[in-house]
């Protein structure tokens, strides 16, 4: 029996990552190959092409899952050029800007409420500046004190500083400290000042692109957001709904992976963003949140609309991907040294198929609601 083709349109909005479309296209290809190895059925991922509004706005690749009868247009929404303009490379500049950003977070972030919602992200936010100070200091001080037993203190101090300069960057990078400092610095400015003209214009284009495709011949349209993309995705959703006169079709859904909305939503000065969330709380649409409890950057089981409203109209599912069930222990990204990789497991395929792994979600036969229902049956 020949299956009638299931046609899916996927829009993907990624996080605060300057690597951009080349990295994520290759990652999708690799995960499609893992999916094929587990099922025995190939998933074909074509090369990248410029999106309809030009290569600066989006890139598209075609995906075929012949055994499942699925064809996918996958559109990667691009903002890595804007990220590159604010990506701080100089360590001293990063330290100074991070200090100012954390002063703003201390003043405006509702840490008590954040801690009641999830303790893990509070630790993730606070440990980078602490380690950024302690590790270089200890790596300089301990050798200096030891060498002062046999050398003049000034000589031991110079050697200690050299050792710290050589080792601290590597250790901090292993603990993802520089990336988190950049993340918190950028989002501190975003909360206080808003997106700015360039990013707002880009989000307008994203909303317009999604609106254009909602009347296409698709069986399903997914707007998938990941990490910091979940923050900006809410602003895109508000604009999309306005473009559609407050009505979205039943075959459309928004998906949040590793959701981090409270990073802005719990800033008392981010009134522009609170307005977005309040506007969305009154709208009827499908939202599926997939965030892992061990992921220290994500806000598992935190409904973003309830940050600003007691009631909400969206049809919401809050799920854990339960990665531990789908990875062998030796491949599971646990522990502090794997926190960064764990935040990308939402985009991967494990050692066992999940109805909600990234390839099953975007290129599988089951529509989103069926995939969620199948996932809920797994003991």
Sequence spans of domains, the chain: 6-83+219-376, 87-188
Bin 335: left if φ > 0, else alpha if -120 < ψ < 50, else beta: left
Distance CA 264, CA 230 (A): 11
pLDDT for the residue 62? 98
Q: How far is CA 228 from the centre of its chain?
A: 5
pLDDT for the residue 3? 65
- Band the pLDDT of 330: cuts 50, 70, 90: confident
Tens of pLDDT, residues 120-163: 889 889 999 999 999 999 999 998 888 888 888 888 888 989 99
Share of the chain above pLDDT 90, in %: 83
What is the mean pLDDT of the segment spanning 233-248?
Answer: 96
Bin 221: left if φ > 0, else alpha if -120 < ψ < 50, else beta: beta
Residue 2, pLDDT > 70, answer no
Distance CA 35, CA 71 (A): 16
Distance CA 49, CA 61 (A): 6
> Cα dist. 218→71, 106, 166, 214, 361 in Å?
10, 46, 54, 8, 15
Q: Between 369 and 341, where is the model more confident?
A: 369
Q: Which two tokens stand for residue 18?
A: 């300057």
User: Quick check: 241 and 284 in contact, CB under 8 A?
Assistant: no
Distance CA 28, CA 38 (A): 15
- Band the pLDDT of 1: cuts 50, 70, 90: low
Tens of pLDDT, residues 80-122: 999 999 999 999 999 999 999 999 999 999 999 999 999 888 9
- Band the pLDDT of 53: cuts 50, 70, 90: very high
Tens of pLDDT, residues 190-216: 999 999 999 999 999 999 999 999 999
**225: nearest Cα among 73, 79, 338, 374:** 79
pLDDT for the residue 176? 87
pLDDT for the residue 150? 87
> Cα dist. 338→117, 120, 203, 294 in Å?
23, 14, 31, 11
- Asked whether the whole model's pTM tops 0.75, one would answer yes
What is the mean pLDDT of the segment spanning 261-288?
Answer: 97
pLDDT for the residue 339? 66
User: Quick check: 316 and 303 in contact, CB under 8 A?
Assistant: yes
Q: How far is CA 276 from the centre of its chain?
A: 19
What is the mean pLDDT of the segment spanning 350-354?
Answer: 95
Residue 368, pLDDT > 90, answer yes
User: Quick check: 299 and 261 in contact, CB under 8 A?
Assistant: yes
User: Quick check: 110 and 308 in contact, CB under 8 A?
Assistant: no
The owner of tokens 């099953």 is 360
User: Quick check: 201 and 118 in contact, CB under 8 A?
Assistant: no
Residue 234, pLDDT > 90, answer yes
Q: What angle do CA 279, 281, 285 make, to 5 degrees?
A: 105
Mean pLDDT of the chain: 94
What is the mean pLDDT of the segment spanning 237-253?
Answer: 96
Question: For residue 265, what are the contacts with CB-CB under 8 A and spacing of at least 6?
Answer: 273, 274, 277, 304, 307, 308
Distance CA 57, CA 173 (A): 31
Q: Provide the 8-state DSSP code for 55.
A: T
Residue 335, pLDDT > 60, answer no
pLDDT for the residue 101? 96
- Band the pLDDT of 346: cuts 50, 70, 90: very high
No. of helices (H) and no. of strands (E), the chain: 14, 9
- Cα R_g (the chain), whole angstroms: 22
pLDDT for the residue 329? 85
Q: Where are the beta strands (DSSP E) in 197-303?
A: 220-226, 252-257, 286-290
Q: Which two tokens stand for residue 147?
A: 């060498």
């Amino acid at each position: 029996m020949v299956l009638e083709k299931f046609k899916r349109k996927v829009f993907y909005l990624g996080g605060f990552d300057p690597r951009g479309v080349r990295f994520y296209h290759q990652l999708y290809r690799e995960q499609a190959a893992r999916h094929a190895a587990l099922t025995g059925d190939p998933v074909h991922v074509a090369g990248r092409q410029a999106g309809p509004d030009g290569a600066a706005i989006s890139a598209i690749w075609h995906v075929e899952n012949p055994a499942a009868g699925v064809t996918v247009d996958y559109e990667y929404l691009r903002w890595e050029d804007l990220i590159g303009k604010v990506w701080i490379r100089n360590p001293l500049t990063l330290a100074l800007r991070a200090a100012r950003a954390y002063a703003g977070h201390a003043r405006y972030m509702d840490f008590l409420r954040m801690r009641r919602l999830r303790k893990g992200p509070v630790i993730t936010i606070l440990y980078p500046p602490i380690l950024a100070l302690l590790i270089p200091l200890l790596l300089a001080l301990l050798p200096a004190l030891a060498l002062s037993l046999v050398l003049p203190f000034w000589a031991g101090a110079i050697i200690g500083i050299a050792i710290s300069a050589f080792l601290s960057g590597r250790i901090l990078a292993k603990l993802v400290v520089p990336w988190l400092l950049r993340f918190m610095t950028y989002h501190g400015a975003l909360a206080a000042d808003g997106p700015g003209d360039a990013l707002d214009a880009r989000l307008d284009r994203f909303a317009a692109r999604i609106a254009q495709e909602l009347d296409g011949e698709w069986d399903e349209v997914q707007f998938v957001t990941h990490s910091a993309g979940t923050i900006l995705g809410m602003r895109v959703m508000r604009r999309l709904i306005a473009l559609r006169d407050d009505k979205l079709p039943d075959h459309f859904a928004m998906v949040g992976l590793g959701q981090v909305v409270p990073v802005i939503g719990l800033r008392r000065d981010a009134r522009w963003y609170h307005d977005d969330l309040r506007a969305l709380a009154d709208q009827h649409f499908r939202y599926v949140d997939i965030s892992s409890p061990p992921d220290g950057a994500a806000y598992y089981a935190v409904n973003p609309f309830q940050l600003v409203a007691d009631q909400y109209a969206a049809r919401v599912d809050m799920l854990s991907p339960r990665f531990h069930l789908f990875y062998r222990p030796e491949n599971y990204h646990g522990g502090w040294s794997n926190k960064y990789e764990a935040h990308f497991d939402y985009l991967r395929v494990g050692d066992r198929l999940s109805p909600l792994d990234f390839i099953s979600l975007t290129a599988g036969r089951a529509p989103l609601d069926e995939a969620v229902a199948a996932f809920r049956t797994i003991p």
